[in-house]
Chains A and B, each alone.
Chain A
Amino acid sequence: MTEHNMALAQLEPGEKAIIEFKDVNKWYGDFHVLKNIDFSIKKGERIVVCGPSGSGKSTMIRCVNRLEEHQKGSIIVDGIEMNDNLKNIETIRKDVGMVFQHFNLFPHLTILENLTLAPIWVRKMPKKEAEEMAMHYLERVKIANQANKFPGQLSGGQQQRVAIARGLCMKPRIMLFDEPTSALDPEMIKEVLDVMVQLADEGMTMICVTHEMGFAKTVADRVVFMDAGEIVEANEPHQFFDNPQHDRTQLFLSQILNH
């Protein structure tokens, strides 16, 4: 690793990590799905996580807002350790937005209601204020004219943009993206990636599980490669793509880039 990479991977003295994995292990029954994950993310950093399916990428980011529990080690998000304390979990979930592969919009609510639900009930925001904010974010993802439709009436790309706006409505400090473009038609991937690039440019702390290597190259501060529940390699994109250190990474890259 070059000196430059070391600086990226490690924190300056006195600098606080916004997300810190310390020796995190997780099992599904007997299956050891996460092995000794040790990793810190600085505020404003954009991390892309890639790797073959079943490598534990999604599981890792789902541990950040405790959609999954880890059994060993510790995860500290924004200074709060994630454990069984429900108050802590609720506090963190308010500050961490999540976008899912299958959008997971609420089909019985209109687009606008999808966006205002959490601000009204979790942040206790007045309805009018929440709606104004929701319209603002809908405009940002260029979909304000669909505000009163139901999710089922929108295309996949539109739904995913609504899902991103829904996450932003909680004014999160961190956004998690779990394969946000994997369920989309090729023609719709770009419109979603554009929104994510815009968000990255504004300095949002992001962890993004994705196979979009173009996105990783242009946006990521670091690319993390996982296999069999471990972080094999984490490096800045330039180094990661041009000079992978690990043979497993090389194999993975050759398979996804040369098809």
Chain B
Amino acid sequence: MAKIFQPSPSLPPPVNSVGAVAWIRRNLLSSPLNILLSVFSVYLVYLLIPPIVSWAFINATWVGESRAECAPGGACWAFVNVRFNQFMYGLYPAPEYWRVNIAGILLLVLVAGYAVKAINKAILTAAIMVGYPVVAYVLFAGGMFGMPEVETALWGGLFLTMLLGIIGIVASFPLGVLLALGRQSDMPIAKSVCIVFIETIRAVPLITILFMASVMIPLFLPDGMNFNKLMRVLIGITLFSAAYMAEVIRGGLQAIPKGQYEAADAMGLTYWQSMVLVILPQALKLVIPGIVNTFIGLFKDTTLVYIVGMFDFLGIIQLATHNAKWLGTTIEGYAFAAFVYWVICFGMSRYSMSIERKLETGHKRN
């Protein structure tokens, strides 16, 4: 008679190293070199942290009307405090701040809608992509419904930075997808157009493109056919970022096995159906880190608009530090700018990680 095979029971893994002491021993003191490095690191922290804390918090001055009122040896946060509204809204007239605030809150509410199950996501996306820009533009520019007009030259501060960043991101993404698909396509003309566009834009610094957009294009346009500088800068940023986006997405497209394209073809899906339903969802998921990288880069690159005379968040801070009352507050200004940029960019990066986790379907196992 054959023997009966009984699989042995599965046991829990051995528990021999838990608790803080074990953790420290394993991670910080595991070898003589590690002990040395750990001691050195603790010394570095001791050297750096106390002075920073005493400058930024203990000796800092929070309220005041000029640099002279700030205590020496401490940060002069009074500067940020007094100029805060300007940093946020630029030269936008103070009585009209509410219009920017409402547009911002409206966007947050709409985006939060994605977390609500009962809301149809297609309608929500249409509302954000089509409806919201119109509402936001009317609010920002005014000139109707009894709201005084605010010309775009006055738009500035974090408001302008967010505007450039969000529109740049939202517009450059679909354009980048199209460019990537075009570059991969079998149609020779579409392919060459995409390659020439991508390679040309990538070979030129953003500063050059912004200069061209703000200074040179008006020279070539016929009289009276001039359009808004903000618009031109936005187009420049979008095209620039789209070229980078296209190459990131192309990397994702190339990583999709040929079998996926063939399976989609064999089922009779059209080109666009197989791209939208089969290939892009997989390709974009693979390159989320690269896409977010490009988004973060774009967001920070918007600071370059100061060279064409626009005062974004960083630009308006720099301008304020040149004010005679506040001379010597450069460090505080830059520290504040760095902190705000860090919060926003770190937020984007964490958000992208949560999306990656959400989209994980376990096919890495193969």
Contacts and interface: CB of A to CB of B under 8 A. Distances in A.
A67 B258 CA distance: 11
Query: B-side binding surface: helix, strand, loop or mixed?
Result: helix
Interface string A103-131: 01111100000000110011000000000
B259 A104 contact: yes
A118 B269 contact: yes
Contact of B270 (A90, A102, A107): A90
B228 to A, nearest CB: 41
B268 A93 contact: yes
Contacts of B364: 152
A187 to B, nearest CB: 14
Among A97, A105, A107, chain B packs the most CB atoms within 10 A around the CB of A107
A118 B362 CA distance: 23
B262 A153 contact: no
A106 B260 contact: yes
Interface string A77-106: 000000000000010011011101010111
Interface residues of B, number: 25
B359 A108 contact: yes
A67 B361 contact: no
7 contacts: A67-B266, A93-B265, A93-B268, A100-B262, A121-B277, A150-B361, A153-B362
Contacts of B354: none
Contacts of B264: 106
Contacts of A107: 282, 361, 363
Given A102-B259, A117-B277, A121-B273, A108 B266 contact: no
A152 B361 contact: yes
Nearest to B279: A106
Interface of B: 257, 259-260, 262-270, 273, 277-278, 281-282, 285, 359, 361-366
Contact of B361 (A100, A108, A122): A108
Contacts of A105: 263
A24 interface: no
Nearest to A95: B268
Contact of B260 (A97, A104, A170): A104
Given A121-B273, A152-B363, 7 more contacts: A104-B260, A106-B263, A108-B363, A117-B267, A118-B269, A121-B277, A151-B363
A65 interface: yes
Nearest to A62: B262
Nearest to A94: B268
A96 B267 CA distance: 8
Nearest to B271: A86
B263 A108 contact: no
B285 A100 contact: no
Given A107-B282, A152-B366, A100 B263 contact: yes
Contacts of A98: 263, 266
Contacts of B278: 106, 117
B260 A118 contact: no
Interface string A131-172: 000000000000000000011110000000000001000100
